[in-house]
């Protein structure tokens, strides 16, 4: 396994808030809040390996995008989260989709030359895309803006936003404000 970014400050990943918002949007239509939260968790779960930063920059550079950015982690995550769900089969599928959407976002927008090890621990083959753009890019900014607007727009038809993952009270206030401003009560 190659050391990625060795000797340099640790690379950062796509904004975890955007990962959460994209994942929440996948499951926003689900009737049970628990299921929506579980799908959202699946979309941020790959970054658990970012905790390797606690062991130092070298550990982070070596193991981030390795330990939990692959197929095995996706399957385990989806199985665990679906076991906690009301609609288990649906949450399993959406959790797999959210997890893989996270991986696709990282492949595209975490920076050139930063692969994932999708088949780890079965293979040390790296997965990379030659069209990767920098984290601080117009593409990531535009995607982040559009995703946030979509989450806010969901307040009108659904009566909720991704903020429900953290606080029902805060989410209710945001929804009420948006509905008062944009005419849907």
Q: In whole angstroms, give the CA distance from residue 104 to residue 146.
A: 17
Residues 36 and 28 sit within 8 Å (Cβ to Cβ): yes
Task: Return the pLDDT at 5.
Answer: 43
Q: What percent of the chain has pLDDT over 90?
A: 64
Q: In whole angstroms, give the CA distance from residue 78 to residue 98.
A: 9
Task: Return the pLDDT at 148.
Answer: 96
Structure-block tokens of residue 7: 């000797």
Q: pTM of this prediction?
A: 0.88
Q: In whole angstroms, give the CA distance from residue 30 to residue 116.
A: 30
Task: Return the pLDDT at 11.
Answer: 57
Is the per-residue pLDDT at 10 higher than 60?
Answer: no
Secondary structure class of 137 (helix, strand, coil) = coil
Split at pLDDT 50, 70, 90, the class of 12 is low
Split at pLDDT 50, 70, 90, the class of 13 is low
Higher pLDDT, 32 or 13: 32
Peptide bond into 68 cis (omega under 30): no
Interacting residues of 64 by C-beta distance below 8 A, sequence separation 6+ = 4, 10, 11, 13, 49, 50, 52, 53
Q: pLDDT tens, 34-84?
A: 999 999 999 999 999 888 888 888 888 888 888 899 999 999 999 999 999
The string of DSSP codes covering 74-92 is HHHHHHHHHHT-SSHHHHH
Q: pLDDT tens, 82-121?
A: 999 999 999 999 999 999 999 999 989 887 888 889 999 9
The average confidence (pLDDT) of the chain is 89
Structure-block tokens of residue 144: 């982040």
Structure-block tokens of residue 40: 């959202």
Task: Return the pLDDT at 168.
Answer: 97
């Amino acid at each position: 396994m190659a050391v990625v970014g060795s000797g340099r400050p640790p690379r950062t990943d796509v904004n975890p808030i955007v990962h959460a918002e994209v994942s929440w949007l996948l499951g926003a239509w689900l009737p049970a809040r628990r299921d929506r939260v579980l799908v959202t968790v699946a979309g941020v779960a790959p970054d658990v390996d970012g905790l390797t930063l606690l062991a130092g920059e070298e550990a982070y550079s070596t193991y981030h995008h390795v330990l939990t950015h692959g197929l095995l982690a996706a399957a385990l995550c989806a199985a665990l989260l679906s076991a906690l769900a009301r609609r288990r089969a649906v949450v399993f599928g959406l959790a797999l989709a959210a997890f893989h959407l996270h991986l696709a976002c990282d492949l595209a927008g975490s920076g050139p030359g930063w692969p994932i090890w999708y088949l780890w621990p079965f293979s040390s083959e790296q997965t990379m895309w030659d069209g990767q753009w920098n984290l601080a890019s117009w593409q990531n900014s535009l995607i982040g803006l559009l995703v946030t607007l979509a989450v806010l727009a969901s307040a009108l038809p659904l009566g909720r936003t991704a903020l429900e993952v953290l606080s029902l009270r805060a989410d209710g206030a945001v929804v009420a404000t948006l509905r008062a401003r944009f005419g849907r009560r």
